[in-house]
Amino acid sequence: MRVLITGGAGFIGGALISKFLSETEYFIFNLDKLGYASDLSRIKSFDSNYQKRYSFLEVDLSNKEEALDAVRESNPDLIMHLAAESHVDRSIDGPETFVYSNVVGTFNLLEAAKDHWQKLSEIRKNNFRFHHISTDEVFGSLGKTGQFRETSPYDPRSPYSATKAASDHLVSSWHHTYGLPTILTNCSNNYGPWQFPEKLIPTVILNALFEKPIPLYGDGLNIRDWLFIDDHIDALILVAMKGQIGTSYCIGGNSEKTNKEVVHAICNSLEEICPTNNPYKNLISYVNDRPGHDRRYSVDTSRIHLELGWKPKCTFDMGIKKTINWYKDNLKWCNTVLTRSPTLGQKIDFT
């Protein structure tokens, strides 16, 4: 099987490629434009035997010709589309980049995929899949009760979530209009090793380790459902291989936490792993809330559980400890990737 993964230099894409290289015999094509948050060091750590099945394509999907050429070159049986700008705060400061990357890029990839799929032999055509990976943020904000599910109405509140919602609609329409065999997944907040350090959990870990203020938006009571990266990767592969064409699946960690609870959980775990005389919680500093900050996300995973048998294996406590230990042991990597950030990691994402 030939698999084209877009955004493979990102957090989720890199984990997906690593899983495919280590546990399958597939030929993997990694398409990425290499933005500030991109990193290939995880994939480059694989030895030459794995590298024989891996190809890197430096492509910006907002360029139509580059997208067409990349799909022709990779000649895929499966496309897993993760490439996207994903930092909410950055989308507020500069939404245009998000429109080009998330909307125009998805449109160009769909057009290239449609052209490729229509020319395949019947056997390959019947087995082809286009899997679009999206976010639960497209559904907006919840009150104290309720959960997002596949039938939830779209109600995006930020430029980031609006562009992801647009890309979801494009994917769905290319299936219904042209017959392209698409599958869509909407996931909750991911965390784990190798995540770019400007995201909430690595930011808290690193600031705590270096005894810097730990920023917390507003009252800290915004709620997110946290999904450990390994569980998400297992779900993505399962959906890509066995999911129902033309439908969507919500993927969540069943771990609803307020941002305040997340920060306190990290501080408590750090007290066990790296005890200090000054409690880590003393570093917590409340900062002004950001515009349009959604209050609560929660994901109903009933469909993927009932249809495909998936459920998360990693509890939040287990995942946090694994994540803390990884960042503690990989501070050199963190410093290296942060030097590529336009604001040296000062733009912290609390989605």
Q: Are 182 and 245 in contact (CB under 8 A)?
A: yes
Sign of CA dihedral 241, 245, 250, 254: negative
* Distances from the Cα of 71 to the Cα of 82, 128, 202, 214, 254, angstroms: 15, 13, 34, 43, 36
80 and 6 Cβ atoms separated by less than 8 Å: yes
191 is catalytic: no
Tokens describing residue 190: 């991911």
What's the pLDDT tens digit per position in 31-52? Answer: 999 988 899 999 998 888 888 9
Separation CA 1–CA 206 (nearest Å): 39
Catalytic residue among 32, 89, 137, 231: 137
Residue at 20 is within a domain: yes
In a domain, 286, yes or no: no
What is the spatial distance between Cα 6 and Cα 17, in angstroms, rounded to a whole number? Answer: 10
Kindly report, residue by residue over 276-293, the tens digit of the pLDDT. Answer: 989 999 999 998 877 767
pLDDT confidence tier of residue 342, bands split at 50, 70 and 90 = low
Check residue 186 and give its pLDDT. 98
For 146-181, the three-class secondary structure string (H helix, E strand, C coil) is: CCECCCCCCCCCCHHHHHHHHHHHHHHHHHHHHCCC
Catalytic choice (136, 225, 231, 294)? 136
Assess whether pLDDT exceeds 60 at residue 343. Answer: no
Please check whether residue 281 lies inside any domain of the structure. no
For residue 141, being part of any structural domain is answered with: yes
In terms of Cα–Cα distance, which of 86, 59, 62, 66 is closest to 5?
59
Number of domain units in the chain: 1
pLDDT digits (tens, 9 = 90+) for 217-227: 889 999 999 99
Averaged confidence pLDDT in the chain: 93
Is 332 inside any structural domain?
no
Domain assignment of residue 122, yes or no: yes
Q: Which of 160, 191, 249, 297 is catalytic?
A: 160
Residue 160 bears catalytic tag = yes
219 is catalytic: no
Q: What is the tens place of the pLDDT at every residue in 11-37?
A: 999 999 999 999 999 999 999 999 888
- Inside any domain, residue 151: yes
Sign of the Cα pseudo-torsion (290, 292, 298, 299, in order): negative
Instruction: Residue 66: give its domain's CATH number.
Output: 3.40.50.720
**pLDDT level of residue 349 (50, 70, 90 thresholds):** very low
In a domain, 329, yes or no: no
Q: Supply 312's token pair.
A: 């998360």
Q: Determine the pLDDT at residue 148.
A: 96
CB 225 within 8 A of CB 297: yes
Q: Which domain holds residue 85?
A: 2-195+227-255+294-314
Contact call for residues 253 and 231 (beta carbons, < 8 A): yes
